[in-house]
Amino acid sequence: MKEVRINRVYLKLWLTTFFWGGTFVAARFAVKEAPPFFAASSRFLIAALLLVPMAAWQARSAGTSFPLPRSLRQFLGLFSLGLTGVFLYNAVFFTGLKLTTASNGALIVAINPLLTAVLSALWLREKVRPTQAAGLLLSLVGVTLVIARGSLDVILQHSFNRGDLIMLGAPLCWALYSILGKMVLAKFTPLAATAYAAFFGAVLLVPAAFVEHATLGGPLPQFSLMGWVAILQLALLGTVVGFVWWYQGVQLIGTARAAAFVNLVPVFGTLLAALLLNERLIAAQIWGGCLVVIGVYWGSRQPRPSHEASGAGTN
């Protein structure tokens, strides 16, 4: 029975990374029909409307009341999740993808887990392992190869695609969100913390969308059927379902083993971009993407416990 549960979780993790890879394609569809903040606010209004009741149901099932912040510190911690992981991340995510390809976006954001690990170690004043540093360096070389399109002239003349440069802010925002999230999770469940992040993120995104509309002028954006499919993919599959399934995997097989699946996100992202958006992959993207994935995998590997420390051999 346990083996069946584990196999189901593995399937869910595969599908989760597939959904997350699809967010890059969905965002490209969305920003073709609406400005970045309008698209982002649409995504997280829907996500918040689902996540908050889910968190309330989880608390009720556990026989407790809905988790509320009990101090200014806790409130600011939850607000910071909405600020970094939803508002700022999606600001650069949607703006960047309006100006660059979905495949480039997926490959650039692929350094998320490793950058998070390194910044977390520095933030908490822990020693950065040599493999982490080497993996991050290798990944950054891969990202540089992707955004430079394999051309030395692009680097020397600083003629980078503006969308690629904006997308570089996404891994940094997510790293900050993840580090702050570790502190918040000491008092709140993952579902409650994510519900608060979506709620506060939506509270910040909606006014920004109105300012964006007032600045750009014109009629209020309206999504076509394909545009709504993209927004629902982002909100339901990329946010709500992806979150729930991800934490089911973490709870059953552990963070380290679940984290390995993150390496599939840029693979699915680039494949879906080629299939659905007809984006042509060039050699620099392929080689750069390989360096990113290898660097993330290498740098994210957990150190093996010694025989003496563990009392048993490694599995």
Question: What secondary structure, in 3-state letters, does the chain show?
Answer: CHHHHHHHHHHHHHHHHHHHHHHHHHHHHHHCCCCHHHHHHHHHHHHHHHHHHHHHHHHHHCCCCCCCCCCHHHHHHHHHHHHHHHHHHHHHHHHHHHHCCHHHHHHHHCCHHHHHHHHHHHHCCCCCCHHHHHHHHHHHHHHHHHHCCCCHHHHHCCCCCHHHHHHCHHHHHHHHHHHHHHHHCCCCCHHHHHHHHHHHHHHHHHHHHHHHHHHHCCCCCCCCHHHHHHHHHHHHHHHHHHHHHHHHHHHHHCHHHHHHHHHHHHHHHHHHHHHHCCCCCCHHHHHHHHHHHHHHHHHHCCCCCCHHHHCCCCC
Residues of the chain with pLDDT under 70: 1-2, 4, 124, 126, 152, 155-159, 255-257, 259, 300-315
Q: pLDDT at position 28, please?
A: 95
Q: pLDDT at position 59, please?
A: 92
Contact 177, 184 (CB under 8 A): no
Q: What six digits make up the tokens of 218?
A: 């014109």
Q: pLDDT at position 258, please?
A: 73
What residues have CB less than 8 Å from 71, skipping those under 6 apart? none
Cα 180 from chain centre: 15
Q: pLDDT at position 34, please?
A: 94
Alpha-carbon distance 188 to 58, whole Å?
12
Taking the CA atoms of residue 243, residue 246, residue 251 and residue 253 in that order, the dihedral angle to the nearest 10 degrees is 180
Q: What six digits make up the tokens of 68?
A: 């509320």
Contact 33, 221 (CB under 8 A): yes
Q: pLDDT at position 202, please?
A: 96
Q: pLDDT at position 312, please?
A: 37
Q: pLDDT at position 313, please?
A: 40
Each residue's pLDDT tens digit, 1-22: 667 677 888 898 889 989 999 9
What residues have CB less than 8 Å from 127, skipping those under 6 apart? 121
CA 181 vs CA 177, 178, 185, 212, 273: distances in Å: 6, 5, 6, 29, 30
Q: pLDDT at position 246, please?
A: 84
Q: What six digits make up the tokens of 209?
A: 């969308």
CA 203 vs CA 42, 60, 158, 194, 244: distances in Å: 11, 25, 37, 14, 22
Alpha-carbon distance 228 to 222, whole Å?
9
Helix axes 283-300, 130-147, angle to 10 degrees: 160
Q: pLDDT at position 185, please?
A: 81
